[in-house]
Structure 1
Amino acid sequence: MRLLIVEDEKRLATALAKGLTAEGYAVDVVHDGLEGLHRSGTVPYDLVVLDIMLPGMNGYRVCAALRAAGNDVPILMLTAKDGEYDEAEGLDTGADDYLTKPFSYVVLVARIKALLRRRGATASPVLRVGELTLDTAARRVHVGETEVVLTTKEFAVLEQLALRPGAVVSKAEVLEHVWDFAYDGDPNIVEVYVSTLRRKLGAGLIHTVRGAGYRLAGRR
């Protein structure tokens, strides 16, 4: 899944991006409210971490503008302000959750995971497609009773397919959600990961729909 961090404290933004990347997310970072609004409106992010005190345009205005445009991306607001009125204003503009600095990184990750589960309209972190089971919280995969060890990126690619079982997911959609904005390599990297997943999970689980993308079938 692909996240956007809009935070002008560069050291904090870098630390968050590093930690969330290690969690398996593709992460883009911008340091200006106007750029955050532009990027959020042009890239299909799964979640935005949005600071309130930003140059160019503050987080309240960014959030309000996204909601006014019909963009329902989950927004987790961050702020150095501490007060119930600040929190209320953030939520009133359309934010989904709110954290006051300094915050626990563990709590941040938990809030992000909760918002992403809510986005998927399910309270369960477990995805099941046929005999394939993905525990998105523990990052574990089983085929039947057998656990299969995947790398962070392999899991992320598989998760994108499992979120839409039976549907065709294009190579471009996988790239958009699994690799960050800075990636400028060969888009055929998706084919490489799909090939590796087939080798680990079984050749019949992921079907290629020629000219369209991939479909997770859940059967070997």
Structure 2
Amino acid sequence: MTPAADGAGVVLRDVVKTFPLGDGERLAAVDGVSLTLEPGSLTALTGPSGSGKSTLLHLIGAIERADSGSIAVDGRELTAASRAQLAAYRRGVGFVFQRFHLLPALTALDNVLVPVLPYRNLGFDRAERARELLDAVGLAGRESALPSRLSGGQQQRVAIARALITRPRLLLADEPTGNLDSHTGRAILDLLLGLRERHHVTIVLSTHDASIAAECERVVDLLDGRPAVR
């Protein structure tokens, strides 16, 4: 069942991103991509290594800037935005990475809190929300655990809770099950699906796993930076 359309809508038009190879040549990591992602949708980006999956996520999340083309999220044009505007935009996007990127000296609770620590007047109690999110991802009672005391799947659950602390309407997940065994990877996908239903968030994830992609409403196969939608 598709959740209520409260997530962000994303529109890409002829997006190009290149990287220098040397001797004046450039590699087109994303090559003329046009996509429309509906609010509340779940989209998988698939393709071999180097096909442009991570770069496309980085462009949508404003981690990288496109060389040309247009990226609009909820009608907000990213390609012409200032650095300050892009920083403000990124605060409203949830990121989940393959390698978790948890801070080893911080507890699970404190890792979840990291994205909101610099801000005041959030409109919610940050510690209460962090505990609620850890409960939602199945880690109630593990708030004080350091990452070294958590399994890979548990660390990814902390990373997902961290991504949701800002109440994003867009969640970008780069190979979120890539470092996990198949059973744990399936549990993480089920968790993302459940959180999507509950929080009405638009999710775009990259994956090499065909079984993960098959659970998504839409699959965009990338090859040499160009998509074939099915």
User: Which has the larger strand fraction?
Assistant: 2
User: Which has the larger helix fraction?
Assistant: 1
Larger RCO, structures 1/2 (Cα 8 Å, 6+ apart): 2
Larger radius of gyration: 1
